[in-house]
Structure 1
């Protein structure tokens, strides 16, 4: 039991261990932790402004993209309106051309009908004169032409 009690009773080695521990903790704090924390704080301070700028950038980018989308929608609407107007104008031009063509066909048909009537009248007169001439030649006498 005497050996057991010497293990549990504190002696000077415990104080030396605690002292070495405190010295190492102090040295680590001074030589490692404080410089590392100072660097991290400085980095956070310097990047804080950048993060704010990035936040502003993200907001401006979102606004720009929204404006771009709105512009695309407006452009598509304008293109569609102009396309519809062009199709309407095309329909009007085609209809106008059809009407003009119909009028020309009607005028040409009327002119042809008049020419056909004139040619028929001329052919009828010429046929009568030719028939009278042929009959006079065959009969050997002059035959009067009907009026």
Structure 2
């Protein structure tokens, strides 16, 4: 989510440019601590609460659309609605990226272990990839052998 924002590189490079004196391990440790603090502050100011941002954008679109329905079409209102729709779309994309990253985090934490999480994910993938029935004209194929033969033919 952060990497899609152009300002992220600036924050990292500014934090990394700070001159710190000491042994290399101390310098690295100190710069990483400063970067963590800067990224937390930047995240709050740039993204804030991602879910609240989606709700606010959705409410803004609803308010403008309600106003359009009550007062009629107006070029300025249509322009405001278009901008609000774009804000909502952007907020939804950020939220989607947030959830995708959260999923990957869970996968990295639990996926390689022999856990129930790993088995659930694997089973869900198998179910979504499998074909349980296929309609061939009026005939319905339900066995995996019949479906495989039909597809190969």
Pairwise TM-score range, normalised by the shorter structure: under 0.3
Where is the helix percentage greater, Structure 1 or Structure 2?
1
Q: Give the greater-gyration-radius structure (CA).
A: 1
TM-score normalised over the length of structure 1: 0.28
